[in-house]
Structure 1
């Protein structure tokens, strides 16, 4: 397309040098406009394909738990994004990368911008999930009042009958030390959880084990060790973000060897 534009420009220059009649000038102008239009369409299509490939790759790496590679792919994708929906989706995934890497403040900032941004509505899934994940960040930081507010906002945005899993609600319950309710929520959403990525399932098993451990300490039974047996191969520091600003969770992770666990 760039070559086509250059050729059209050269043709236009030749015609102008020869001072053609008015009818010829109209044809030249039309050809130039067409060349510019086709060049623009080709360029935007190329950028969209690059963005789509990189964003898809980044999302797949994120689901697989390869957070560093996912972040690099998504940052590259963000550079190719032209339209607001493309930027919204890319930056949502980047915020998740930041969260799971333990950069809770950065994730909170990114998710807050997305939750408040009016262009986020153009990506319905992000429109619902951004405030829910923001609530999760706030819960991890112990800001439960604001976390509840954003969780309610996520519920208002959710379509009727949507039974998707809410990490924000789970972490709020867990941080409030309502461990029985935490386990019940995980049981109620078992089907949705099974459809989640390995990264998410591992994290939820750890949260469930943490709740069972707390219930056991309160004399309510629980089998945290059984829950942890289901945790698949993990990367070093995979669960550190859970305890970064949550002392009791950090103590649990250390006691179970999960804060330094090596990848299998």
Structure 2
């Protein structure tokens, strides 16, 4: 864009001089005006980018800390300042995460579906891989396991060879398929990744493991499942996204006091 504006300004100045050689003074004035407009335009773009960086960083930090309402407001403001496609892709991915963790699974699903299908998403490689995985997580929460598997496979296909991480989509699909032993093993195998995750993500994964262990021990005839240990302080309803369309998970959350416990 900068090169285009500069080329246009230079061309206009050259044309004016060629057609009006006796009015070179006026031509230089016009060229200076074009240059001033060009500099102002660059300054405006730079200002918007700095605003986007600040708001996006603030929103990401609030999201990591679990302050979802404040994170959503900051990210919506950031989206208003985004000019380039990569900026919009990253901001809208984080807004999708906000919606998911707030329990607005339909909104999150729509956001991740748009990103998963959008060709501009390729300009942000991390989002290009993560969007279909988070879409699979949304679909699993809603019980649409066939479609969830499709998008999980798409996420695996996009991932670079040799990259190992923990897929929330895979964890939730295993849980919804009632493969509780596989869920526990996967989370235990990726324990280091879980512990290094952001606060909200880590708490979510710990609750899912506790649920899977509880279901597993219940199926095996034990009287009591594993209590969710070492849970960090959380806000009331922080895990509602898990149980909104998943009756067994909702019952577990209620039984463990994880839907209405006051934040510490």
The alignment's TM-score, normalised by the length of structure 1, stands at 0.90
How far 1:126 moved relative to its partner?
A: 0.5
Cα deviation code 1:46-87 (max 9, x no counterpart):
000000000000000000000000000000000100111100
Q: How far apart, in 1, do the equivalents of 2:258 and 2:153 lie?
A: 32
How far 1:180 moved relative to its partner?
A: 0.5
Q: Within 5 Å, give how 1:89-128 maps onto structure 2.
A: 89-128=90-129
How far 1:220 moved relative to its partner?
A: 6.9
Q: How far apart, in 2, do the equivalents of 1:170 and 1:102 lie?
A: 18
Aligned residue pairs: how many? Answer: 244
Q: How far apart, in 2, do the equivalents of 1:213 and 1:95 lie?
A: 29
Q: How far apart, in 1, do the equivalents of 2:116 and 2:21 lie?
A: 57
- Kindly indicate whether residue 217 of structure 2 is the aligned counterpart of residue 233 of structure 1: no
Cα deviation code 1:229-256 (max 9, x no counterpart):
2110000100011000000000000011
SS of the equivalent of 1:95 reads helix
Which consecutive residues of structure 2, in runs of 5 or more, have no partner in the other structure? Answer: 1-19
Q: Within 5 Å, give how 1:31-180 maps onto structure 2.
A: 31-180=32-181
Which consecutive residues of structure 1, in runs of 5 or more, have no partner in the other structure? Answer: 1-18
Instruction: Indicate if the aligned counterparts of 1:70 and 1:97 stay in contact, CA closer than 8 A.
Output: yes
Cα deviation code 1:81-139 (max 9, x no counterpart):
01111000000000100000000000000110000000000011100000000000000
Instruction: Indicate if the aligned counterparts of 2:183 and 2:212 stay in contact, CA closer than 8 A.
Output: yes
SS of the equivalent of 1:177 reads coil
Partner of 1:15: none
Name the Cα RMSD after superposition. 1.4
Partner of 2:30: 29
Instruction: Indicate if the aligned counterparts of 2:56 and 2:75 stay in contact, CA closer than 8 A.
Output: yes
Partner of 1:203: 204
The alignment's TM-score, normalised by the length of structure 2, stands at 0.90
Partner of 1:224: 226
Residue range with higher mean Cα deviation, 246-255 or 212-221: 212-221
Instruction: Indicate if the aligned counterparts of 2:132 and 2:154 stay in contact, CA closer than 8 A.
Output: yes
How far 1:223 moved relative to its partner?
A: 5.0
Instruction: Indicate if the aligned counterparts of 1:112 and 1:131 stay in contact, CA closer than 8 A.
Output: yes
Instruction: Indicate if the aligned counterparts of 2:105 and 2:138 stay in contact, CA closer than 8 A.
Output: yes
Partner of 2:12: none
Q: How far apart, in 2, do the equivalents of 1:168 and 1:69 lie?
A: 26
